[in-house]
Amino acid sequence: MHKNHCEQSCLARSLCALIVAMIVLGCATGNATSQDMSPTEQPTSAPAPSSAPASSAPEGQSGTWMLLFADEFDGAALDSSRWVTCYWWDTGGCTNKGNQELEWYQPENVIVGDGMLTLRALDKPIAAPDGETYPYTSGMVTSGRVVADTATPARFVFQYGYVEMRARVPRGKGLWPAFWLLPANHSSKPEIDVMEILGSDPSTVHMTIHYLDENGGRDNSGESWTGPDFSEGWHTFAVDWRPDAVIWYVDGVERYRYTDAQHISHTPMYLLANLAVGGDWPGSPDAGTPFPSDFVVDYIRVWRQALELALAPTADTYVDSSAPASNMGAGSVLYSDNNPVKVSYLTFDLSSATGLAITGARLRVSTTSDPSAGAGSTHYVQLAGDLAWDEKSLTYANRPNMTLTELGALTNAASNSTYDIPLNLSLLQPYAGGQVTLVIDTPSEDGLYLYSRESDNHPPRLILTIDCCRGLLPVVLSP
């Protein structure tokens, strides 16, 4: 929305080069997901309309994503822990006088039911506490505050991310649905308009960034894209807000990109969705404008793309109780068994993860093609108590002790299959920046055969999920 109530100077900085450097060091995105005791699969999306976060990524996007915020509007009422129903100047309702709008926003015009959020505009005059009479009421939600005091926690604010809404907009002159972002410090600029559509032209979506120029004057850049009639069905509208770019998407397809980093917001922002009525831009409703009119939202989600650091073992081997003095060396297969006892050791160097914000970890292993390679029993991933072992001299007799602390487990493994074993990050985190030895063993006589690092077939990997912004850039997530 075009807003006029206060100003802010932008802080210009970009860490794109640093993120690129991380990728060069070995971070790579992919579609693999952490799955407990089941072969890796590609994520699938449920058919629309949705009732839960069925996808592991925003529409049209690939790679690994973290869901920072989501409301599927599945309840019977608006979730007050996530949303308020007015701007921060709420006085028993609110409006945006800077745009000469004609509505007075009211909580009762915000309706949740049947898995949807409805922002309803009514031809209903109201005498407002500001002394004015407004000819219309309407609904809005924000994840900000309803008070001017910025020391009061907002419902949800964030810094950088992929913001996505699935919605159906109304048709009619004077109707003005919008989905947008504003700074959490209550300044009006920079502002990112994910989408604005005028009810008199429901086939055109407007995508805009508003900012202060070098002289403190108000300026903006944007693009209007004409597509289908957005009032006739469901569509997704999204923005990927990055330190060095803001990218707009409609139905998963990029439609506009802005790359002047000095004008991009680098401070936390909050979400807004509203159905304005009238104003300088859309004009007043006419006799053909239907009331009530609804701006209907299926979901609102905020994602952040993660990077994956896939680490190969620097050493791996196994020991065998039936040959306690024998070194098994660097073979192509690792074993886990209890008759005889066979235990596998894998060392990983985590120095490349120093200083990064690790948000997840999993051990990827692959069973061999041997028909006996699988195991219905449970095999455990634990920590070695001693890192001072050598692949060329390790034996059952001199093997390191295990901590008996379970990091993860694999059950019902089939032969010739690949598995991601989620690991307890809190137990692994202390080893970031150094080395760690993982141990695979079992109390069962149902043995497991795994490919080792020396194998050309699916060698093991320790996969760390890295928040590409947290740890590098400050992030504020309100409780």
Q: Which residues are catalytic?
A: 191, 196
| Closest to 22 measured CA to CA, from 466, 473, 474, 462 | 466
> What one-letter code names the amino acid at 220?
N
The 3 state secondary structure assigned to 218-270 is EEEEEEEEECCCCCCCCEEEEEEECCCCEEEEECCEEEEEECCHHHCCCCCEE
| E strand or H helix at 349 | strand 341-349
* Cβ atoms within 10 Å of 34's Cβ, excluding its own: 17
Both tokens assigned to 105? 């926003």
| E strand or H helix at 426 | helix 425-428
Cα gap 34→249, rounded to integer Å: 27
Give 108-160 as a DSSP string.
GGEEEETTEEEEEEB---EE-TTS-EESEEE-EEESS-SSS-TTSPPS--BSS
Both tokens assigned to 122? 């009514």
Both tokens assigned to 14? 């970009």
Cα gap 48→59, rounded to integer Å: 12
CB-CB contact of 319 with 440 (8 Å): no
Cα gap 401→384, rounded to integer Å: 6
Cα gap 5→98, rounded to integer Å: 7
From residue 207, alpha-carbon distances to 10, 66, 229, 451 in Å are: 20, 25, 16, 51
The 3 state secondary structure assigned to 173-220 is CCEEEEEEEEECCCCCCCEEEEEECCCCCCCEEEEEEEEECCCCCEEE
Q: Are strands 116-121 and 293-311 parallel, antiparallel or unpaired?
A: antiparallel
Cα gap 161→270, rounded to integer Å: 11
What does the angle CA 58 – CA 24 – CA 260 come to, to the nearest 5 degrees? Answer: 60
| Closest to 374 measured CA to CA, from 450, 457, 453, 458 | 450
Q: Which residues pair with 337 in a beta bridge?
A: 342
